[in-house]
Amino acid sequence: MPQDLVPSLLSRATELLEAEFAALPALKPDTGPDMDSAAMERVLEATAHRLADNYPYFHPLYAGQMMKPPHPVARAAYALAMTVNPNNHARDGGRASSEMEIEAVRSIAGMFGWTEYLGHLSSSGTLANLEALWMAGQLAPGRRIVGSEQAHYTHQRISGVLKLDYTGIPADGHGRMSLEALEDELRKGDVGTVVVTLGTTAMAAVDPLDEVLALREKYGFRVHVDGAYGGYFRLIPESLDEPARRAYAAIGEADSIVIDPHKHGLQPFGCGCVLFRDPAVGRFYKHDSPYTYFTSNKLHLGEISLECSRAGAAAVALWATQQLLPLTPGGAFARGLEHSRAAALELDRRLRGDGRFQPLTAGAPDLDIVVWKLPAETPARASQLAQELFDACAARDLHLALVELPLTWFQPLAGQQTAGSDPGRAAAGTVTCMRSVLIKPEHEEWLDRIWERLTEAVAEVRRE
């Protein structure tokens, strides 16, 4: 959708919405100083200049963090909803937007094969994961939560907030949770929930969900899938390598799932989603609200959410996007994921063919995040070169990211803890690496230009 088309479409939609309320008595506009058009123009101009102090997150040359611009229809629908400014804590606060949320969440649940479930949107993936772990504590009180050491740090922090014991499980050279280490913890008999990550934030590694589920049959525990980053890749199994394909095929057997539409789902921040396979968990949300929301006897979203006020506009934007781009295999939305995946595989292929770079020993990326390091005589020197390359790329308007990963994942350098290395870094066993998140479909088309800037930058760093 051309960007210049959005204002006219939004203007027309706003007129239609205003016409729906035309029967109301006329409202005299506030003509006070805060509505002075010249003053507002000056403030918005200043705002635009302030916002320029950002990385170009919307552009394909930004390939550093998990930043993907919302679809134009999501932006327009969000702005349209702000005319009403609904609150999806209850149907009284957002009648239409609550129904739209229910329909949008139904589409997400359907992507995982669920027709019976309990779920809703949240203001972030962190809040969605908090609800999932809160529910884990309700269903298995006094039992531990375990997850990969590569799982998002919020799981450990959330567990602390909830007063639940949390244990990190080592990851293998692919960044996936070690099944052997997991079973060592399961044998202790006090694990209530295993957090399985389908798309870690460091490198989009996919934990072996199918094999974790097999262990569940033996040891008995809940399985929570954190698909905040990678959940949508369920739509393109044929584009994934076999281990990831098996993990995604098993996702419907999880007890709870979290996904972030504000990542691959083309939504504005913040928009998370939590789903529970058993609708009966709704009993834990019961509460009394003596002063609000008596106009409907239908289930309202405030009865199945730990959050109270939530932006109805987020639900409207998600609903509109999914109407335009349904969550179906082979559809336009799925093809966007395929382009991101293809870009990551091609970047990884080029890195492996160029001796100036050292990709992970384990092989190609699971999803669409690529990590690599620069060969050097010591880990400390490799880390220094990574920082220099980061800066040299930025000077060429190519914005990447840095990540700390275990030395053992880069076998040729794992044993080179020589006198020139940093003692603290050597003790920690990590090295600073480059990280590129190819989350935008346009990254595939722009890969030649990304590669040109990257190779120019590494030549400068190496002073070739």
| Residue 340 identity | S
pLDDT at 42: 92
For the chain, the residue count is 464
Residues 6+ apart with CB under 8 A from 75: 6, 268, 317
Residue pair 60/442 in contact by the 8 Å Cβ criterion: yes
Q: What is the pLDDT of residues 51-101, one digit of tens each?
A: 999 999 999 999 999 999 999 999 999 999 999 999 988 878 889 999 999
In this structure, are residues 321 and 134 in contact, taking their beta carbons and an 8 Å threshold? Answer: no
Domains of the chain: 95-324 (3.40.640.10), 332-462 (3.90.1150.10)
Closest CA to 148 of 63, 209, 101, 103: 209
Give CA separation, 35 vs 10, 40, 47, 49, 170, in Å. 21, 7, 17, 21, 57
Nearest to 275 by CA among 122, 95, 87, 123: 122
| Average confidence score pLDDT of the chain | 90
User: Smallest Cα–Cα separation from 256: which of 300, 196, 302?
Assistant: 196
- How far apart are alpha carbons 25 and 30 in whole angstroms? 15
142-189 pLDDT per residue, tens: 999 999 999 999 999 999 999 999 999 999 989 999 999 999 999 999
pLDDT value for 5: 73
Asked if the model's pLDDT at residue 419 lies above 60, the reply is no
DSSP state of 70: P
Q: Bridge-partner residues for 120, per DSSP?
A: 274
pTM: 0.91
On the 0-12 / 13-18 / 19+ scale of CB atoms within 10 A, 341 is buried
The span from the CA of 365 to the CA of 431, in Å, is 18
pLDDT score of 425: 42
Q: What's the confidence (pLDDT) of residue 386?
A: 96
CA angle 401, 232, 54 (to 5 degrees): 35
46: which residues sit within 8 A by CB, 6+ positions away? Answer: none
The verdict on whether omega for the bond into residue 270 sits within 30 degrees of 0, i.e. cis, is yes
Rg of the Cα atoms in the chain: 24
| Cα–chain center distance at 320 | 20
Closest CA to 209 of 235, 177, 180: 177
* Average pLDDT score over residue span 102-127: 96
